Amino acid sequence: MSRHCVVLAGGLGTRIREITDGKIPKVLVPVLGEPFLKWKLESLQSMGVTDVTLLVGELGNLIEDYVWHHYPTGLSIQCFHDGPSLLGTAGSIRQVLHKLPDTFWVTYGDSYVVANLDEAELRFTNSNYDGIMTLLHNKDVLEPSNTDIHDDRVSLYEKNTKLGLHEWIDYGLLYLKRDDFLDLSVDSPTDLGVVLQSVIRRQKMMMHEATTRFWDVGTPEALMATEGHFRSLF
C-alpha cells in the first residue's frame, strides 16, 4: 500500500537566519550533527509514508543534493522547485497537482510530527469528510492554540490568534484531496489556509488527535528545544 506525503520546504527561514546565515535552507539546519531533513524523512517513514514530494524554494538545490546523496531506503522522493516566483504553500502544491494522487498528506519541512495515519485514514474512508486536520490538545502550552472542534469535526481555524481563545492547535499534518486545489491559479501565490478554510466552511474537515507534541526548527529557541528532545532519546 502506498502513502503519499507532500513536504513544504520552500520557506525563506527568516526567523532562523541568525543560524543559517542565509547559506542553507532551514530544513538542513543541523540537529545533533545531522540535517533536520534526515529526522523529518525518518518520521514520515515511521508513519508508513512510501512516496514523498518535496517542494523547495530558496536554496532548494542544496535540499535536492542532500536527498540525492542520502536517499533513505524505502522512500521514493521527488523534488520540485517553486521557480523564480514564490507561489505560497497552496500554490506550490497546485503547480505539481498532476503528479499527486487523489488524496495525499501534507506536512511542513521544518516540523517533526508523528501520528497514527492508519487510524486517521480508516476513519476518513468510512466518513463523508473531504480532509483531515491533525490536532494537538495544546491549551496554549506550546504556543497560542488556534483551532476549535465540534464532535470529530474542525469547526474553526485561525492562523494567527491570541491566548485564551482556543484549546486545540494545528499539528502540521493534513490529509487533502486534489479536487480542493483545482480551482487555484497556477500563477498567483496562494496560502494553504485558503484551501483549509474552504473545507472547514463546508463542514468537511475531520479532526484527528495527535498524542505527542511537535518539534520544530523555525526559530533558534525551537531548534534548541528540538535538539534537547532528540538528545534525550539516545
Burial of 138 (0-12, 13-18, 19+ CB in 10 A): buried
Q: Average of pLDDT values for 51-78?
A: 90
**Mean pLDDT in the chain?**
93
| pLDDT digit string, tens, across residues 98-141 | 999 999 999 999 999 999 999 999 999 999 999 999 999 999 99
- Residue 64 pLDDT > 80: yes
Task: Specify the 3-state DSSP secondary structure of 151.
Answer: coil
Under the banding of pLDDT at 50, 70 and 90, the label for residue 3 is: very high
pTM (two decimals): 0.95
Domains and CATH numbers, the chain: 4-232 (3.90.550.10)
| pLDDT digit string, tens, across residues 10-40 | 876 788 888 888 899 999 999 999 999 999 9
- Residue 58 pLDDT > 90: no
C-alpha cell at 64: 535536492
C-alpha cell at 190: 496562494
DSSP 3-26: -EEEEEE----GGGHHHHTTSS-G
C-alpha cell at 77: 522522493
Q: Average of pLDDT values for 149-177?
A: 96
